[in-house]
Amino acid sequence: MTDIVLVRHGETVWHAENRYAGVSEVELSPRGLQQAAQLATWASSAGLSAVWSSPLHRALGTATPCAAVTGLRLQVDARLRELDFGDGEGLTAQEMRERFPGAVAAFDIDPVADHLHGGEDPVAAVGRLAACLHDISESKPGCRILVVTHTTAIRLTLCHLLGAPLSDYRRLFPAIHNCALTEIRMTGRRPALLQFNVPI
């Protein structure tokens, strides 16, 4: 049994306009840096045994203070990165509707079967994400682990682990707040949701 605390990185400079960051490198905003510091304060007394992060800068900037205050080595795994949104990278939803309205309409109905052109297949993405979490869990039995990753990565992974249709990830989990806590208990291959989207 291993408890994994999934956290979306802190707010970025694209947050106000709600641009699709995906695999684009976007820096934390001043508020995002404050959120990372608050998360580190939580981490200092959370009983963590490991800190893992996506390799994207916004996740690393959030996870690094947590590793520092706990004295744990920050471990990075490329499988924890966000999905590539292809043609949608760097755009707002409105800009996408103006540029390729048909594709966005299909995406709104089924974001898995009709993911954005040029982007990563969500089915493949959840395969790498779930495999990473299972590897982390098996490497640290009986421990509590912080994993800093991304909003779509978390929503898809929750659907997969809890047995919900992947295509419902936007409906079931409409928002993952920056630096909020979502904790899952991995007991072999039988996960349980302990808390969801809890503010620090």
- Residue-by-residue DSSP string for 116-145: PTTS--HHHHHHHHHHHHHHHHHHSTT-EE
Active site residue 138: no
Each residue's pLDDT tens digit, 47-101: 999 999 999 999 999 999 999 999 999 999 999 999 999 999 999 999 999 999 9
CATH 3.40.50.1240 fits 2-86+121-198, yes or no: yes
**pLDDT of 136-165, one tens digit each?**
999 999 999 999 999 999 999 999 999 999
Sequence-distant (≥ 6) Cβ neighbours of residue 137 within 8 angstroms: 2, 4, 145, 186
**Options 15, 27, 82, 138, the catalytic residue:** 82
Q: Name the pTM for this structure.
A: 0.96
Domain residue spans of the chain: 2-86+121-198
pLDDT-derived band at 190 (thresholds 50, 70, 90) equals confident
H helices present in 7-56, as ranges: 30-43
- What are the tens digits of pLDDT across the range 103-123? 999 999 999 999 999 999 999
What is the arrangement of strands in the sheet containing 74-76, beginning at the earlier edge strand? 74-76, 50-53, 144-149, 2-8, 181-187, 190-198
Decide if 82 is catalytic.
yes
Residue in 9, 115, 150, 160 annotated catalytic: 9
